[in-house]
């Protein structure tokens, strides 16, 4: 009877030590310190990079915007937004368009000034068809703003609900968008480095990592890949 409480106490102590001293003690063993990316403990590291990217591109999140899943990013980072439509394959509160991004015939051509896709493209099986549909529904001069997973664990919840299919690099992301957008209208950038990639996989929140390390860019450790592609006027 005494062993179970003792084991629980030791396990809790080990977890606290790994979390508190993650640089020296936290990477021991094979299990992550905080499974599930460390949600609830602070800012997940990929979200730190995503928010930085959206802040940089705030002027493009304008006019009539389409966002997938919810409108949180548009509400937080939009500038001069006049209308927001939310697309989702499953109906629910706040959903305006029930459709798959690879086929939304109910949306007319040249509808949106901005299509905002955070961590969406890489869960779609037919990514090229999705890019074609995004191009169709964008107004001339409108932009798609997208982030995609580079180095990341499997999102188990997404895998079981609607799929978690791909990981991309700066090269493959550029080639993907170039199937419909001119290369001169595509900007690709990456975020992350070896240290932050390890912290992300271990579920260490951004608040626990020095800003100088978070903001260091190493092109061979692409934690997220971000794209802005503009439809020619």
Q: What percent of the chain has a predicted confidence (pLDDT) above 90?
A: 76
Provide the pairing of β-strand 63-68 with 97-98.
unpaired
Average predicted confidence (pLDDT) for the chain: 92
What is the radius of gyration, based on Cα positions, of the chain? 20
Top-confidence range, 7-11, 20-24, 124-128: 124-128
Band of pLDDT at residue 127, cut at 50, 70 and 90? very high
Whole-prediction pTM: 0.89
CA–CA gap between residue 203 and residue 37 (Å, rounded): 4
Q: What percent of the chain has a predicted confidence (pLDDT) above 70?
A: 91
Q: What is the pLDDT of residues 48-94, one digit of tens each?
A: 999 999 999 999 999 999 999 999 999 999 999 999 999 999 999 99
DSSP 8-state assignment for residue 70: -
Residue 171 pLDDT > 50: yes
Domain boundaries of the chain, sorted by first residue: 1-30, 32-230
- The highest-level CATH class for domain 32-230 is alpha beta
């Amino acid at each position: 009877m005494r062993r179970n409480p003792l084991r629980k106490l030791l396990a809790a102590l080990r977890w606290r030590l790994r979390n508190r001293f993650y640089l020296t003690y936290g990477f021991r063993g094979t299990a992550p310190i905080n499974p599930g990316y460390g949600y609830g403990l602070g800012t997940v590291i990929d979200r730190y990079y995503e928010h930085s990217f959206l802040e940089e591109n705030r002027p493009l999140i304008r006019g009539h915007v389409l966002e997938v899943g919810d409108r949180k990013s548009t509400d937080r980072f939009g500038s001069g937004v006049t209308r927001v439509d939310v697309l989702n394959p499953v109906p629910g509160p706040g959903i305006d368009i029930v459709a798959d991004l690879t086929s939304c015939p109910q949306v007319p051509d040249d509808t949106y000034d901005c299509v905002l896709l955070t961590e969406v493209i890489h869960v779609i099986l037919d990514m090229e068809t999705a890019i074609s549909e995004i191009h169709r529904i964008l107004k001339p001069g409108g932009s798609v703003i997208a982030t995609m997973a580079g180095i990341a664990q499997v999102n188990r919840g997404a895998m079981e609900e609607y799929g978690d299919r791909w990981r991309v690099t700066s090269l493959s992301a550029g080639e993907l968008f170039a199937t419909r957008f001119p290369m001169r209208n595509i900007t690709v950038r990456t975020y992350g480095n070896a240290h932050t990639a390890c912290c992300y996989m271990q579920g260490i929140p951004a608040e626990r990592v020095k800003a100088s390390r978070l903001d260091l860019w190493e092109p061979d450790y692409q934690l997220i890949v971000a794209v802005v592609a503009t439809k020619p006027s």
